Amino acid sequence: MAEQSPGCPYPLGPLVEPDGVNFSVYSRNADRLELLLYDDVDAAKPGRVIVLDPRRHRTYHYWHVFVPDLSPGQLYAYRAYGPNDPVRGLRFDPTKVLLDPYGRAVAMPADYRRQAACEPGPNDRHALKSVVADVSTYDWEGDTHLRRPFSETVIYEMHVGGFTKHPSSDVDPQERGTYRGLIDKIPYLRDLGVTAVELLPVFHFDAQDAPPGLANYWGYAPISFFAPHCGYSSCSNPLAPLDEFRDMVKALHRAGIEVILDVVYNHTAEGGEDGPTLSFRGLENSVYYIMEDDGRSYANYAGTGNTLNGNQSIVRRLILDSLHYWVREMHIDGFRFDLASILSRDEKGHPIPNPPVLWDIESDPALAGTKLIAEAWDAAGLYQVGHFIGDSWKEWNGQFRDDVRAFVRGDEKMVPRLADRLLGSPDLYAETDREAEQSINFVTSHDGFTLQDLVSYSVKHNEANGENNRDGADYNLSHNYGVEGPTDDPAIEALRKRQIKNLLAINLLSLGAPMILMGDEVRRTQRGNNNAYCQDNDLSWFDWSNLETHGDIHRFVKELIRLRFIRESVSQQHHLTLEELTRRARIQLHGVKLGSPDFRDKSHTLALSASSLSGDLLMHFALNAFADSLEFELPELPKWATSGWRRVLDTSLESPQDITLPPEAPRVDGSAYQVKDRSVVVLFAAALPSP
């Protein structure tokens, strides 16, 4: 066997070469590092230990070694020796097995125990291990990024596991809850009409970072920023997640569907002072995390126990390298940054106007054309919706969610706010010359009530989470309409269904880029749990039997998406600013009377008319959140609109009359239309012959 050599500090992580593997890892304050090579993921000790001599294997703060005759599939990890002085922010523990921060794959032992990384003594048998991988050999078969503009994008937020775990999915039992299982359901996504999936975290995460007896289901507990989660693989080969994930991306691209990842660069699964030593804490704690009290404790802007030090140079490099990897090697089309406002904090945790890491991402040529979406707030009160930095970033619009919920529920003082939300939130974005799609519009997301629960529960019911219902948001803007939870009352059921259609219609037809939550199209319920992060069971999974039970809502969503794309008849002009779009579409606001929008506090009505930018389609929207029916005046049509007004949507009607696309949509005669209580109506007129 050839002898090892000092190797090179670049690139970080494992680099597979023809005659072996180069390893490089960062640690500034370590006195000594050991590279551990394991023969088996369940081994109680490494088969080989390579001691890294700082005189030979260290360049600046990078420890490196070239090991000949190694190949992909080799299991490895590190031990780091150095001062254990928490008062100074140093937490070296040479008894702990440490994942490589740049490892491309992770192997999990059968008896993985998170707690073993918190307790004194060795934890080899119970520890995660990194896996050497050569990602250059995968055959992409000509696959490329789709580069779909936001103006043509409808996002479906979904969970890889929960999409097919339910027995009703009809997916092979070995593939339920996996990347391969998702591939089986791509025809469903394509038929629904969505153009992008936004996957809840797929970076390898610690599923045991949850209350006792439960699992971290959502995945907001990352421990590797390069490795796809091995729990979503259909087989035990530690390299299988890489190929299965890429197979999924390639298959989605073939179906015309982009892949956006929900990424968590704000914290890790290592938690606070009492958390486990899994990787970063044991390699260079005070560099990777924002520390407080002169290094004694962890800043907690994510609400999870620690906060990554995103604007520290080493962590900035880690984030950029991770993004490059997922775009270049995994063909990812975009990223939604969880609690993105944390990345605008400096190394002391203070918000700064020009955060280096965010500008790095914004201006990076390797990320040009990649979708960048910010959740523009954090758990410590920093709220940046409407003024997140840069030109490329889009924003989850929490104001849209709250204002649409409140209007549909019947709250007062909401009509002016609703008008802004329908028109792309000009109160937030018009002054920045942003396009309408700056706003990612949503009414529900993974965090909070599902759409069904939003109209079925007035308060949260999170007892199953084991925290005595203290967790989860109390401010939900929900309503049960007479009964808390399920009901057999036909009147309540009819009203709930109508409100669901109202919320969907506003979300999918407003200016901006819409996002819908997995299962809302079939009225998926979490039985009132608005924080199901730890519920890896049928409470969270997509129940495919609902596709038949609530087929009317599924059809409604499909047709709404088709209607949206009819409305976007000039989507190639997607670079228009919000102000230009509003002017050229000749948007006018009304109430029940034309030209007289009612913005009084007790008003619950709004109407607006607009034309397509090409001028060949006129649209009129009428929204009534009153408990009584009202007649809305209709604009007079020009002579060229030979089709007359056609009713394409009326949420008060039963399926299939509730939505009918042109030219089959029924004609509306007269100068007014009666909009039933708590309903949304949309009329189209075009230069088309009568059917």
Catalytic residues: 338, 375
Phi/psi of residue 339, nearest 5 degrees: 45, 55
Fill in the amino acid letter for 464.
Answer: A
Counting Cα atoms < 13 Å in the Cβ hemisphere of 665 gives 25
Distance CA 330, CA 353 (A): 32
Q: What angle do CA 412, 528, 460 make, to 5 degrees?
A: 60
Fill in the amino acid letter for 452.
Answer: Q
List 372's β-bridge partners, or say none. 335, 393
Query: DSSP string of 475-505?
Result: ------TTSSS----HHHHHHHHHHHHHHHH
DSSP class of residue 435?
Answer: B
For 97, the 3-state DSSP assignment is coil
Q: How many CB atoms lie within 10 A of CB 49?
A: 11
* Alpha-carbon 435 to chain mean position: 21
Non-local (6+) Cβ contacts of 139 within 8 A are none
Distance CA 525, CA 486 (A): 10
Fill in the amino acid letter for 436.
Answer: A
Distance CA 616, CA 224 (A): 51
Distance CA 380, CA 300 (A): 8
Token pair for 450:
């599902």
**CB contact at 8 A, 463 and 473:** no
**CB contact at 8 A, 439 and 394:** yes
**CB contact at 8 A, 27 and 63:** yes
Nearest to 320 by CA among 354, 348, 352, 343: 343
Q: Which helix (H) or strand (E) holds 36?
A: strand 32-38
Q: How long, in residues, is the chain?
A: 691
Distance CA 342, CA 307 (A): 8
Nearest to 650 by CA among 690, 691, 678, 626: 678
Alpha helices in 546-662 (DSSP H): 546-549, 551-567, 578-584
The dihedral region occupied by 386, where left means phi > 0, alpha psi between -120 and 50, and beta the remainder, is left
C-alpha distances (whole Å) from 400 to each of 283, 386, 618 are: 42, 11, 25
Counting beta carbons within 10 angstroms of the beta carbon of residue 75, is it exposed (0 to 12), middle (13 to 18) or buried (19 or more)?
buried
Alpha helices in 100-165 (DSSP H): 160-164
Non-local (6+) Cβ contacts of 663 within 8 A are 643, 646, 688, 689, 690, 691
**CB contact at 8 A, 513 and 441:** yes
In Å, the largest CA–CA distance within the chain is 90
